[in-house]
Every structure is written in C-alpha cells, then in structure tokens.
C-alpha cells in the first residue's frame, strides 16, 4: 500500500505528458506486476485503511477498471464496508466518483449511501463532510442533501477559509443552494479575500451563478479587492473576472472604469476571444466609461477591425450588436455585416439560432437609424394600441391609472411603436407638464408641443443586480424611445405589485407629475 500510494503521490504532480511516459514505465516494470499479484492475494487480509488506499492508488495510476485486481478490491470493499471509518469512507467515495459505472461500482455506491445516511450526524470533520458532498454529487436524494446541510451547520463555527471555499464548491457539485451555509461562507470569504488568487475569486462568482445565490456584499467585496489590486493582475485574468460578473448581471463599475483605462493604454492583449468577452460584458452591464469614453470605443473598434478577416459571420454579428447596444456604430464592421446580409450569407434558413440572429440584426439596423448623428426627432410618431386588454401583471397599474386620471381615455395601453418597440402605457401632457391630455383630443388635433410619457413595467432581471441601473437592451430601448420623443419612466414590476392600491396611485402620481419624469436621466423607483 505504501509503495502504491507513494507512486501515486509522485505521479499526480507530473504534467500530462510526463504522466503518460511514467505510466508506461510503471506498467512495463517487472516489479509492478509482482506488486499487483501480491495485492490480489493479500486483499482480504489487509486492514481497512490499506485496502481503501490501495484501491485509490491503483485506479488513479491507471490500472484498467475491468481487471481482476480492481474488481476484486471493489468486492472486498463491499464485504468490509461496515468496518470502514469515516476517513476511509471519504477516500472510497472519492475513488468511485472517478470510475465508470459497473455492477460492483454501483453496488458499492448504493451501500455507501446507506452507510453515510446512518453516520452523517456523527461526522464532525468539515473536510470529510464537504468531500462526501462533492463526490456523492447531484444524484443524492434531497433528504440526504438536507442531512448534509444540518451536519455542516453543526460544525460551521469552526469553518476555516479554505474549508469555506471547499464547502461552496461541494454545494455546486451537489446542486444544492443552502442559504444558511452560503451566508456563513460568504462572510468568511469576505474576511479573507486578500488570501485568494484571482482564479479562485472567479470560481466563487461562477459557483454563486450556478447556485443562483445573490449576495451583493460578497460580490462588491470581491470587485473592490480586484479593483484595488488591478495593477497586480494579468489583464486577461481581469477579462475572465468581468465575464463572471456579466453572467451574474452584477456591474463592478469601479473595476470596469479602471479596465477601460488599461485597454486604451495597451490593447495588444485583446485577442478575438477576449475582445468578444469585453464587448459582451460592457454592453450587457450597460457600462460606458466616465473618462475617455470615445477613445475606449475607438480602441475596441480598431481591435475588431484587425480581427475581421478571421472571425465567423455569427461572431461579427455579436460584436457589432454589442457595440450598437452601447450606442456606438462601428462603420467598417457594419459595412461588412450588411454586405453579408445582402448576399443572404448571415442567416441561413436551417440555422438553429435563426430567431436570435434576426433579433440581433434588427436591433443593429434600428441603432444605425436612430443613433445616427443625422437622425432628428420626428414631429409625430405613428402608434397603434394593440388591445384594450392588459396582462394580469399590468392590471393593477391600469386600475391605478384610472383611479389617478379619472378615465381610460386619458392614457393608451399596450402600445406598438415603429421599430417593433412596445410600451405598456402612454400618457400625453401639455407643454407646461401640468395636466394630462385626453388621448382622443391629441389624436384629433395633433400638437407638437404635447409631451409624451412612456411607462415601462420591467422585471428585476432587466436591471443590474442590486441596482435600478438598466442592463444593455433596456437601456437601448430607453435611449431610442427618447429619440422618438418619449420621456421614459422605468418601474420595477415586482415592487409595484407589492404596493397597496393607495400607495400605487400615489407612486404613479409622483412619477407622472414630477419634474424628474421629464428629464432624460434615469427615472426609476
């Protein structure tokens, strides 16, 4: 056992290429065959620790699973299962997690699950608990996941930073979101964030996304630490960190400002893959640098132009779409994109992502028109009220508007605009913004001085996490509605639904009649 275990410890630290070479030497060595024969003969007389560690080393050294040796060790482990201590159980679970399913592996895994169920309340070692969670994985029954949760919470006061990380990753492996455990781990991570390499911070963000765990304090602490130490990290690592933030919908504004400066100073590191990640992150999170905004966009545009000969049509569409969402028109890339579209090369009839690509291309063409410097606000906008019926989630808003304005003729609902834009409610006011005008009056006698107000009820997911800062597509829609002459009020649907009827009426009254409703800055709850 010592011989095999030592060989495995030396072997696992080698590179993949070295491992292939050493494995061949080990298997061809005459002493190795004798060692395996001896292990086969003595397997039933071995101590429980020697038995489990021998199986672990043998499997990891690459001895084929269908050999007599490995199958015999599996059967002996089944026979001695009840004699194994918690450490041996943990090692055995780890070994089986890396093996293919067969009759003996499945039988042993079933026996181990029953054994763990019986013992779990008595296991006091966090390291063993997280290892069992990680290796037993997402197929564990829910009741056993809850037992693991209770066992970890019993020992949570003794949690170290390394074990906090291990527990988080074990929850991911089990596909189980335990808020009590994650909240404690989150605090431990925040206290020790300076001890973690950037790669580990990225894995933490990815784990939170997988578990759908939202913790603004944690994300802000990680982002603040990376921002304050940005000069220490490779820019390509920061790109990956930003990508993880984008996936969460979390905007690390300070870091994005610092990174934008780094890009303008030196963009050589931006290969095509990194460029696409940066474009996606800045466009989805709707971040426009406060300083050197134009230079930042010009730098990204220049990098995109260099990549044009080597990128696919789909990648070109994604890149142009991202820049257009930010309000920047990359002319050279746009020309190439439109040429491909005119030749019907961009979207094929059997394309799996046909609808998504058509939506992106439609947005690009809309941006080309509305974001062009030559575009002027139209005197009148042709609108169409699709239906007097509104969806259930807008029924409360409709009733509040009737209560506030006195009549359904004082507003339009479910309005379709040019460029396939849709607004939930439209209200028209006089030029002094003192009173609401009846819709029929303004339709019969159009007045260019009348103010148009668009109320958009949007889900929380349309904003960056923890804020009312609209994400890219919503920000683009708001910008374009402004260009069409609308003053836009964004209202978070869920919060509005939670209001009492009286509060909802007062809230809408404040938004409609306030001076802020007619500024082009963010108007939000």
pLDDT value for 282: 97
**How would DSSP label each residue in 352-386?**
TTHHHHHHHHHHHHHHHHHTSTT----S----EE-
| φ, ψ at 503 (rounded to 5°) | -65, -40
Q: Quick one: average pLDDT of 281-287?
A: 97
Task: Please name which of 480, 469, 460, 459 lies closest in space to residue 285, comparing C-alpha atoms.
Answer: 469
Q: Which is more confident, 444 or 264?
A: 264
Residues 347, 354 contacting (CB under 8 angstroms): yes
CA dihedral angle for residue 459, residue 461, residue 466, residue 467, rounded to 10 degrees: -60
Residue with tokens 């070109």: 316
Q: Quick one: average pLDDT of 456-482?
A: 95
**pLDDT, tens digit (0-9, with 9 covering 90-100), for 295-346:** 999 999 999 999 998 888 899 999 999 999 999 999 999 999 998 888 777 7
| pLDDT of 75 strictly over 90 | yes
Q: Which is more confident, 117 or 434?
A: 117
Residues 127, 163 contacting (CB under 8 angstroms): yes
| pLDDT of 216 strictly over 90 | yes
Q: Quick one: average pLDDT of 83-101?
A: 93
**Which one-letter DSSP state was computed for residue 467?**
S
| pLDDT of 266 strictly over 60 | yes
Assign 446 a pLDDT band (cuts: 50, 70, 90).
low
Q: At 452, is the secondary structure helix, strand, or coil?
A: strand
Q: What angle do CA 25, 29, 33 make, to 5 degrees?
A: 125
| pLDDT of 379 strictly over 50 | yes
Cα–Cα distance, 401 to 183 (Å, whole number):
41
Task: Please name which of 133, 172, 175 lies closest in space to residue 153, comparing C-alpha atoms.
Answer: 133
Q: How, if at all, do strands 451-458 and 486-492 pair?
A: parallel
Joined tokens for residue 329: 């028109």
Cα–Cα distance, 395 to 412 (Å, whole number):
14
| φ, ψ at 214 (rounded to 5°) | -110, 115
Q: What percent of the chain has pLDDT over 90?
A: 71
| pLDDT of 525 strictly over 60 | no
Q: Quick one: average pLDDT of 276-295?
A: 94
Cα–Cα distance, 281 to 60 (Å, whole number):
40
Q: Which pairs count as long-range contacts for 118-123, CB under 8 Å and 24+ apart, including other chains? A: 119/86, 119/89, 120/144, 120/147, 120/148, 120/151, 121/147, 121/150, 121/151, 123/86, 123/151
Joined tokens for residue 497: 């639904």
pLDDT value for 386: 66
Q: How, if at all, do strands 412-416 and 422-429 pair?
A: antiparallel
**pLDDT, tens digit (0-9, with 9 covering 90-100), for 104-163:** 999 999 999 999 999 998 899 999 999 999 999 888 899 999 999 999 999 888 899 999
Joined tokens for residue 2: 């010592």
| pLDDT of 55 strictly over 90 | yes
Averaged pLDDT score across all residues of the chain: 90
Joined tokens for residue 217: 């304090």
Q: What is the pTM of this model?
A: 0.87
Q: What percent of the chain has pLDDT over 70?
A: 95
Task: Please name which of 110, 41, 46 lies closest in space to residue 83, comparing C-alpha atoms.
Answer: 46
Distance of CA 462 to CAs 123, 176, 219, 326, 476, Å?
44, 26, 18, 15, 12
* Neighbour tally for 143: CB within 10 Å: 8
Q: Domain boundaries in the chain?
A: 1-122, 384-513
Cα–Cα distance, 278 to 402 (Å, whole number):
45
Minimum mean pLDDT range among 7-16, 254-263, 374-383, 492-501: 374-383
**Which one-letter DSSP state was computed for residue 407?**
S
| pLDDT of 175 strictly over 80 | yes
């Amino acid at each position: 056992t010592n011989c095999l275990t030592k060989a495995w410890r030396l072997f696992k630290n080698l590179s993949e290429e070295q491992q292939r070479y050493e494995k061949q030497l080990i298997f061809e060595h005459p002493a190795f065959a004798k060692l395996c024969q001896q292990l086969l003969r003595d397997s039933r007389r071995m101590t429980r620790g020697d038995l489990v560690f021998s199986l672990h080393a043998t499997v990891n050294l690459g001895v084929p699973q269908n050999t007599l040796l490995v199958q015999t060790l599996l059967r002996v482990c089944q026979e001695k299962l009840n004699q194994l201590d918690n450490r041996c159980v943990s090692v055995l679970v780890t070994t089986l997690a890396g093996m293919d399913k067969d009759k003996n592996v499945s039988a042993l895994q079933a026996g181990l699950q029953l054994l763990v169920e019986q013992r779990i309340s008595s296991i006091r070692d966090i390291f063993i608990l997280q290892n069992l969670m990680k290796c037993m994985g997402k197929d564990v029954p829910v009741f056993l996941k809850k037992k693991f949760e209770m066992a970890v919470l019993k020992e949570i006061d003794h949690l170290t930073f390394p074990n906090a990380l291990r527990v988080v990753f074990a929850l991911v492996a089990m596909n189980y979101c335990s808020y009590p455990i994650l909240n404690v781990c989150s605090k431990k991570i925040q206290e020790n964030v300076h001890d973690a390499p950037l790669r580990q911070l990225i894995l933490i963000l990815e784990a939170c996304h997988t578990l759908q765990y939202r913790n603004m304090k944690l994300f802000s602490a990680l982002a603040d630490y990376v921002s304050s130490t940005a000069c220490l990290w490779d820019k390509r690592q920061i790109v990956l960190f930003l990508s993880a933030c984008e996936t969460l919908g979390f905007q690390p504004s300070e870091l994005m400002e610092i990174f934008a400066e780094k890009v303008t100073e030196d963009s050589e590191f931006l290969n095509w893959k990194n460029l696409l990640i940066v474009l996606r992150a800045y466009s989805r999170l709707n971040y426009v640098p406060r300083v050197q905004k134009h230079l930042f966009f010009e730098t990204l545009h220049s990098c995109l132009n260099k990549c044009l000969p080597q990128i696919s049509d789909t990648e070109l569409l994604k890149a142009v779409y991202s820049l257009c969402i930010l309000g920047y028109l990359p002319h050279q890339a746009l020309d190439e994109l439109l040429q491909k579209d005119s030749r019907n090369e961009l979207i094929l009839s059997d394309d799996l992502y046909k609808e998504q690509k058509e939506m992106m291309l439609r947005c690009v063409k809309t941006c080309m028109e509305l974001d062009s410097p030559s575009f002027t606000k139209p005197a009148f906008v042709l609108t169409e009220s699709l239906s007097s019926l509104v969806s259930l989630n807008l029924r409360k808003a409709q009733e509040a508007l009737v209560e506030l304005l006195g009549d359904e003729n004082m507003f339009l609902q479910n309005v379709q605009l040019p460029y396939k834009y849709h607004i939930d409610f439209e209200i028209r006011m006089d030029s002094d913004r003192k009173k609401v005008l009846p819709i029929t009056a303004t339709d019969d006698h159009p007045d260019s001085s009348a103010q148009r107000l668009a109320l958009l009820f949007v889900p929380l997911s349309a904003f960056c996490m923890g804020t009312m800062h609209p994400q890219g597509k919503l920000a683009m829609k708001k910008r374009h509605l402004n260009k069409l002459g609308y003053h836009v009020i964004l209202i978070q649907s869920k919060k509005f639904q939670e209001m009492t009827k009286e509060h909802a009426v007062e809230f809408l009254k404040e938004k409609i009649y306030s001076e802020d409703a007619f500024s082009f800055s963010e108007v939000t709850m």
